[in-house]
């Protein structure tokens, strides 16, 4: 679905009120397939939220080791 939405013009760098991108959310919730799809679509893996945290920090904090290795 992510690839299809991106192909149809969805903004994969859109941010919520905390500055999280879809990649921050996927890393936070341990959604490995979503992280992979977003990265392959060109999502910025180093994007910082308003506190200065990149998506990998979410994966580290919540113990999503597969995502940490990927990012």
Global pTM reads: 0.94
Domain of residue 35, residue span = 2-70
Q: Give the C-alpha separation, 4 to 57, whole Å.
A: 27
| DSSP state string for 1-70 | -HHHHHHTT--TT---TT---HHHHHHHHT-HHHHHHHHHTT--TT---TTS--HHHHHHHTT-HHHHHH
Would you give per-residue pLDDT tens digits along the chain (71 residues)?
Answer: 999 999 999 999 999 999 999 999 999 999 999 999 999 999 999 999 999 999 999 999 999 999 999 99
Q: Give the C-alpha separation, 26 to 21, whole Å.
A: 9
In this structure, what CATH number is given to the domain that contains residue 32?
A: 1.25.40.20
State the total domains in the chain: 1
């Amino acid at each position: 679905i992510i690839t299809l939405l991106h192909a149809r013009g969805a903004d994969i760098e859109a941010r919520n009120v905390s500055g999280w991108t879809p990649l921050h959310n996927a890393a936070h919730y341990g959604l490995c397939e979503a992280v992979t799809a977003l990265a392959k679509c060109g999502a910025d893996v180093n994007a910082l939220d308003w506190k200065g945290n990149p998506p990998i920090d979410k994966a580290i904090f919540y113990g999503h080791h597969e995502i940490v290795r990927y990012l």
